[in-house]
């Protein structure tokens, strides 16, 4: 396969492969010569995740030796749920153009959860698109859609059962484009994948007839799939936790009206409680912003600050970037010998 058709935007395609699945101790790769298992060479400062591009060379027996992680265009990460709250971030998906944030048109729908996903997606650098699924069981999706549209992202109501709204996704899924699917368990990610693939490649469970608000989680690991039209789709397991990490950019883009008001507060570190000259409180009292939305903004901001200061997070990112650069230089020097 052509690595550029797989979304690669670099200038040196030699020995470049894309990570199509990341397991605990092994990786699945796709490159010019097809699929292969990848093995890490030495100590990596940053472990690859699904969607990453790596430089790898073939080994006897068909495996690939992964030698360098290439720079990421976009990266979706959350606070790592396997360690302490302030210990680090977990990379979920890399080099995606869009993130399809999925929630069902039933009791799974929560504005607060969508705001959380939107904040992390905008921090990643990818464009968020909200998909309201299971339209076939919702007689009137209008009120749900109106709430989602109020969050500032594009919204589509879809059904993988009837095909309603699915044609609208064609504008995003162009050749060479990568979209990641994110959402809670049971919102219909696997059903959407099967519809777009044109065949049943993912195991699904029908929504329970006794309680249409419940779905069933079927995806067990992150993987990159190649759609018939040339686009790529990242399917991810349902996530019970979507903790904030570094959202210094994403929070402002998810709550632009509050971020703009903060600049007019008298104090730079205003907590928007009882401080004099607080522009946010004035807007709240005037009814220009809702107490619920302000509460969610402050909660996410506190969580992100607790998980690690933006300065510390940026320092760690710069260290990782420098380590990657050094590794790539060593790798290029070794190929030149």
**Per-residue pLDDT tens over the stretch 124-164:** 999 999 999 999 999 899 999 999 999 989 999 999 999 99
Closest CA to 19 of 230, 229, 222, 320: 222
Confidence at residue 244, expressed as pLDDT on a 0 to 100 scale: 42
For 228, residues 6+ apart whose C-beta sits below 8 A from its C-beta are: 197, 198
Confidence at residue 321, expressed as pLDDT on a 0 to 100 scale: 55
When pLDDT is cut at 50, 70 and 90, the band that residue 242 belongs to is: very low
Could you tell me if 53 and 17 are in contact, meaning their C-beta atoms sit under 8 angstroms apart? yes
Token pair listed for 288: 């220009």
Query: pLDDT tens digit string along 262-287?
Result: 888 888 888 888 888 888 888 888 88
What residue ranges define each of the domains in the chain, with the CATH number in brackets?
A: 3-71+313-336 (2.40.50.140), 75-235 (3.40.50.300), 250-307 (1.10.40.50)
Using DSSP's 3-state secondary structure scheme, residue 166 falls into helix
Confidence at residue 233, expressed as pLDDT on a 0 to 100 scale: 95
Confidence at residue 212, expressed as pLDDT on a 0 to 100 scale: 41
| Backbone φ, ψ for residue 197 (5° rounding) | -75, -20
Confidence at residue 241, expressed as pLDDT on a 0 to 100 scale: 46
User: In this prediction, what percent of the chain has a pLDDT beyond 90?
Assistant: 42
Confidence at residue 248, expressed as pLDDT on a 0 to 100 scale: 56
Q: What is the DSSP letter of 224?
A: E
Question: Residue 169 pLDDT > 80, yes or no?
Answer: yes
β 127-133/89-94 pair status: unpaired
Confidence at residue 319, expressed as pLDDT on a 0 to 100 scale: 55
Question: Residue 190 pLDDT > 70, yes or no?
Answer: yes
Query: pLDDT tens digit string along 58-106?
Result: 999 889 999 999 999 999 887 655 544 445 667 889 999 999 999 999 8
Closest CA to 225 of 20, 65, 27, 46: 20
Token pair listed for 146: 């109106």
């Amino acid at each position: 396969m052509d690595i550029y058709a797989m979304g690669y935007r670099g200038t040196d395609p030699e020995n470049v492969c894309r990570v199509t699945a990341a397991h605990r101790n092994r990786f699945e790769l796709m490159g010019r010569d097809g699929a292969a298992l990848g093995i890490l060479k030495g100590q990596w400062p940053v472990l690859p995740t699904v969607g990453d591009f790596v430089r790898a060379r073939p080994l006897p027996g068909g495996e690939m030796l992964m030698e360098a992680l290439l720079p990421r265009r976009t990266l979706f990460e959350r606070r790592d749920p396997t360690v302490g709250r302030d210990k680090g971030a977990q990379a979920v998906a890399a080099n995606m153009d869009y993130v399809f944030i999925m929630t069902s048109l039933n009791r799974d729908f929560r504005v607060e959860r969508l705001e959380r996903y939107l904040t992390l997606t905008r921090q990643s650098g990818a464009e968020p698109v909200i998909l309201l699924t299971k339209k076939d069981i919702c007689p009137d999706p209008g009120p749900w859609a109106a709430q989602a549209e109020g969050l500032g992202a594009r919204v589509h109501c879809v059904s993988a059962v009837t095909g309603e709204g699915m044609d609208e996704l064609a504008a995003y899924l162009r050749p060479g484009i990568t979209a990641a699917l994110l959402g809670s368990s049971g919102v219909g990610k696997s059903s959407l994948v099967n519809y777009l693939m044109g065949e049943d490649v993912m195991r699904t469970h029908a929504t329970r007839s006794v309680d249409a608000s419940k779905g069933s989680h079927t995806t067990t690991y992150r993987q990159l799939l190649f759609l018939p039209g040339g686009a790529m789709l990242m399917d991810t397991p349902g996530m019970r936790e979507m903790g904030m990490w570094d959202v210094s950019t994403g929070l402002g883009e998810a709550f632009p009206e509050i971020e703009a008001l903060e600049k007019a507060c008298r104090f730079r570190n205003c907590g928007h409680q009882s401080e004099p000259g607080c522009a946010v409180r004035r807007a709240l009292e005037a009814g220009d912003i809702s107490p619920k939305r302000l509460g969610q903004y402050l909660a996410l901001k506190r969580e992100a600050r607790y998980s690690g200061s933006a300065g510390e997070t940026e320092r760690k990112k710069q260290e990782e970037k420098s380590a990657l650069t050094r590794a790539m230089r060593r790798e290029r020097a070794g190929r030149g010998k």
